């Protein structure tokens, strides 16, 4: 990591409109990790904004446990994707609006 890492992550998150959303999916056998592709916008303070259907599996998971992470992947088209830019934001989902 370098001193520019926070700046690079901010630029990456602002540049991308898709991310992998990871949540904890409850079922009869306990809780399982669940990841899905979502479209993302960001607020002026870099807070992710997700528009999700109440019917979506990840929406149901977030209702049970609001912990989540978003993986932003800027490695498209690179010969060595593991050397490319990526960043994960972790937090708790909050519902705004109706």
Q: What CATH number did the domain enclosing 53 receive? A: 2.30.110.10
pLDDT for position 97 = 67
Cα distance between residue 37 and residue 50, in whole Å: 11
Q: Find, among 52, 60, 51, the residue nearest to 25 by Cα.
A: 60
Q: Name the token pair of 70.
A: 């978003």
The domain of 68 spans: 5-89
Q: Which residues have a Cβ under 8 Å from the Cβ of 76 and sit 6 or more positions away?
A: none
Do the domain assignments include residue 97? no
Q: In what order do the strands lie in the sheet with 86-92?
A: 30-39, 18-27, 67-73, 86-92
| Total number of domains in the chain | 1
Do the domain assignments include residue 98? no
Do the domain assignments include residue 40? yes
Do the domain assignments include residue 11? yes
pLDDT for position 66 = 95
Do the domain assignments include residue 68? yes
Question: Model-level pTM?
Answer: 0.86
Do the domain assignments include residue 46? yes
Block means of pLDDT (10 residues each) for the chain, length 98 residues? 75 96 89 94 93 90 94 94 93 83
Kindly report the backbone phi and psi dihedral angles of residue 37, in degrees, each rounded to the nearest multiple of 5, phi listed first: -85, 130
Do the domain assignments include residue 95? no
Q: Which residues partner with 39 through β-bridges?
A: 18
Helix H or strand E segment including 5 = helix 5-15
Do the domain assignments include residue 53? yes
């Amino acid at each position: 990591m370098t001193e520019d890492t926070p700046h690079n992550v901010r630029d990456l998150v602002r540049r991308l409109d898709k991310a992998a959303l990871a949540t904890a999916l409850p079922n009869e056998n306990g809780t399982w990790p669940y990841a899905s592709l979502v479209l993302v916008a960001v607020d002026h303070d870099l807070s992710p904004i997700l528009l999700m259907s109440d019917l979506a599996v990840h929406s149901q998971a977030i209702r049970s446990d609001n912990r989540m992470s978003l993986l932003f992947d800027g490695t498209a088209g690179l010969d060595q994707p593991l050397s490319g830019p990526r960043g994960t934001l972790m937090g708790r989902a909050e519902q705004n609006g109706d």
